[in-house]
Chains A and B, each alone.
Chain A
């Protein structure tokens, strides 16, 4: 369905609808927070019941998510040593290879046995679909790296990591999408990188995006889309069908592993609906993880965990940060949004609406690494992290567009609309309101209780339950700490037992982080959207030392 995924050029009726859905998340978050505060003062009994019901839901949810975090981590561990290239080569001769995989697996390692089993199931599914698997030699990769103020050293590390995917480098076209408004040194740096690495790739484009094109905002999506259009011309000139191109839009600080493109190619070949799908790796923030303050390490590990959990729900998975997709799909839907900050999640919703719900995100069992925000000083990093999280939370701008799209699209089932709409809405509201409710408002009924309430059994029992629930959540937190220690990269220098302990204890900063660096920026973003105060695109401070 053709739906203009933008807030520009709307009719009067559409503007009213847009504003209604823009107001809804912020209004709900504020109503929840202030409503419970008011309830605690005027009806502490009702507030106490609400707090118990709410906290129980929260602790169960925490355990539920921890299970999936563990499963997702196990899945990542299983595929850690998978030879993706061998699988791709095998899939190039599909029928014979399928027969080979059906033979009993002789691996002794359980992880490898499970990996083999899931691979076999994937192949059988592919066979059943009747899809013709493209040859890996016919698949090309387009890597778009938008640059505005990122230092050349950051971008060079990105390009180098792509070049290290030697099996696919000669099928890869790098496009450095440089803003014309970028400083001279940045633009020169990009030209220097192109000169240095051009020979390693099939093609290397440096595309300068003019400032202030009509219908565009100063957002990453406008830059990336302009570069992708230039790349499209390249493919047309070189007679490469768009169907054979996988486009990856990477943040400038992204660093991929040497088998990343092998894994991506495998996922693409393995997906029967490959032109109706995006491919989402797990973003981890390991590039500078041991150089940043503890709270930044905790929050970004938390972000990775969130994405790990999300990958276990492919039906509701949405693209986030660096991601890949069929170039044909990208061209069909009209590239990334040029007036939205959250173009990463926006492209999924745009495609989902365009293809009438027949669009999915395929989780990739691999990671790519990015930088943690680092402004050089403790307070500076706090400020930068806050702004980065607010920008992420600005993803709420998708909600009104998606809801408007759902209202006009009659081909997407009501159930899918309901589930997607609810998840999008609930996710945003929970993000902004939950930490406030847990940290502050939950205690209010007991604090503001008058004599009437403080002489009830409920007054005494409510505190007991709150304590028990916090005890249980500490167990879940301990699980998270252990998992974070598994997931974190090895430290460049050896830390004493004391510092290892301190790094573990950093997780107890979670209440502070949840409120000040997660909920508050989210509430800020929702309030801005509610009040129609749009956000300028802001680039995070990321340094390469």
Chain B
């Protein structure tokens, strides 16, 4: 037994000594191939994950037995044509450079159907569509009258008029809709024979109702109204440079709640305002003059030079965006000043880590959590990665498929661009009604828009049915709600 044990020990030891370097070399990508002069070559690999899965893979015209998700190993360094094919879907093609010892990773490749599945949701003509960001409501305008405004609940796929049918304001002319993100409360500004009226409407109620808030707006027509939550206690109205607090319970107005401000934003029951070049903070319940200074100094003077106005937007617990009236986009994160003008709008991802922003001709992404680049001479923050710069009239953009893609509306066409890729032909998805807004819901994986010829509200399936991130998003919503509370 002793001898047998020794023999077996040395046998296993020899096996280990032989296998270990082979396995480690193989793990590094080394293979033996007669095609290479030396025999040994260090290879690379391509990893592909698609949605839907089970697509076939062609690399350098060779069809592989593996279907997505798959890792294709032992590829000699060089340029490869990679093609992914799935029945009834558009082919996905890329030219890929494989380097020795490196992995090329194509995660979350979205395969677009040959013809995008479109479904009519409301078979009536509409002129315009307005989104209420962070809610499951869309506003549909079919005429000039306030009574023509409908609300569509895309979660339950039902619609109704915003105002009650019997409302005395139904015939009034709709002038403006005030809405804030993550709130199902909206304010309609309507023009009646008796003058301007302001109506508070709750979109999440089963029956339409409108409360006349006009008594709060006797001081004039506000430039901006903001509030927090779906059932706010206070509204904050900006008129010129003065911010008033409107108490919805007592129906009272506290004028000059903050004076001489250049912009404001709300976060966790506090008003943050830009006064000159200083940031001040004031609780919703506070009295006039109780504001506290958050930050001031030459640094802010340089950042907010000029007299432009800014909207202060807390996109996450840590990140604040300052959106100027000339399309400037600043942030409290390095390098602070991202775009000096021309930004038409921006959207954040579910976690508030990434921002997709657009100007007329280009669309880009700002990733606040992108790891810092090491060994740089200057300390740097995130930079905008422009995905597409040949647009005509880019009007809106959304993150799609867990921020792996950006969907944007250029004039009357919807395109899909993959993050991190430039100079790649875009996937054109559908045509939409010119000048009308579009809305993409990650929860349902659908794009909601007005059909260009008849103006009906339709939904196009961007993500395959059943593959949505509602669970993740619900969690994030809860977290956000929790954080706000």
Chain B residues 67 to 90 lying within 8 A of chain A, measured CB to CB, are 71, 73
Decide if B16 touches A60 in the complex (CB within 8 Å): yes
Query: Is the CB of A42 closer than 8 A to any CB of chain B?
Result: no
- A271–chain B nearest beta-carbon distance, Å: 15
B258 to chain A, nearest CB (A): 44
Quick check: B103 and A459 within 8 Å, CB to CB? yes
Most B-side CB within 10 Å, residue of A63, A315, A460: A460
Q: Bound state CA distance, A282 and B20, in angstroms?
A: 35
Residue from the list A49, A312, A455, A461 in contact with B29, Cβ < 8 A: A461
Q: How far is the CA of A465 from the CA of B23 in the complex (A)?
A: 8
Could you say which residues of chain A place their CB within 8 Å of the CB of B105?
Answer: 454-455
Shortest Cβ distance from B13 into A: residue: A60
For the complex, give the distance between the alpha carbons of A458 and B45 in Å.
10
Could you tell me the distance in whole angstroms from the C-beta of B20 to the nearest C-beta in chain A? 5
Collect the chain B residues with CB atoms within 8 Å of residue A48's CB: 27
| B101 lies within 8 A of A457 (CB) | yes
A53 is contacted by which of B9, B20, B43 (Cβ under 8 Å)? B20
Q: Are B45 and A457 in contact (CB under 8 A)?
A: yes
A61 to B47, CA, bound (A): 33
A451-B371 CB under 8 A given contacts A56-B20, A457-B27, A457-B29: yes
* Bound-complex Cα distance A56 to B19 (A): 8
A52-B27, A53-B20, A315-B2 known; A457-B44 Cβ under 8 A: yes
Identity of the chain B residue whose Cβ is nearest the Cβ of A453 in the assembled complex = B103
Q: Kindly supply a per-residue 1/0 record for chain A positions 454-480, scoring 1 wherever the CB is within 8 Å of any chain B CB and 0 otherwise.
A: 111111111001000000000000000
Partner of A457, one of B2, B9, B16, B73: B73
**Chief secondary structure at chain A's binding surface:** helix
* Chain B residues whose CB sits within 8 angstroms of the CB of A57 once the complex forms: 16, 20
Is residue B35 contacting chain A, with contact meaning CB distance below 8 A?
A: no
Number of chain B residues whose Cβ lies closer than 8 Å to a Cβ of chain A: 28
B101 proximity list for chain A (CB < 8 A): 456-458
CB-based contact A455/B102 at 8 Å: yes
Q: Tell me which residues across on chain A come within 8 A of B45, comparing CB atoms.
A: 457, 460
- Chain A CB within 8 A of B24 CB: yes
**Is B102 touching A56 in the complex (CB atoms < 8 A)?**
no
- Taking A315-B2, A465-B23 as contacts, is the C-beta distance between A457 and B102 under 8 angstroms? yes
Is A64 a contact partner of B12 (Cβ separation < 8 A)? yes
Q: How many residues of A contact B (CB 8 A)?
A: 29
**A residues in contact with B371, CB < 8 Å:** 450-451
CB neighbours (8 Å) of A315 from chain B are: 2
Q: Is A314 at the interface (CB under 8 A from chain B)?
A: yes
Within the complex, what minimum Cβ distance (angstroms) separates B103 from chain A?
A: 5
Query: How far apart sit A60 and B71, CA to CA, in the bound complex (Å)?
Result: 27
A-contact bits for B1-33, CB 8 A (1 contact / 0 none)? 110010011001001100110011011110000
Q: Are B20 and A457 touching (Cβ within 8 A)?
A: no
Docked-complex contact A312 and B27, CB < 8 angstroms: no
Interface check A313, CB cutoff 8 A: yes
- Provide the residues of chain B in CB contact with A52, threshold 8 Å: 20, 23-24, 27
With contacts A60-B15, A455-B105 known, is A461 near B26, CB below 8 A?
yes
A63 contact set on B, CB distance < 8 A: 12
Contact B28 A458 (CB under 8 A): yes
Q: Mark A165-203, 1 if CB is under 8 A from B, else 0.
A: 000000000000000000000000000000000000000
Residues on A with beta carbons closer than 8 Å to the beta carbon of B43: 457
Chain A residues whose C-beta falls within 8 Å of the C-beta of B2 in the assembled complex: 313-315
19 contacts between A and B (CB under 8 A): A56-B16, A60-B12, A60-B15, A60-B19, A61-B12, A64-B8, A71-B1, A312-B5, A315-B2, A455-B105, A457-B27, A457-B45, A457-B102, A458-B29, A460-B47, A460-B103, A461-B27, A461-B29, A461-B73
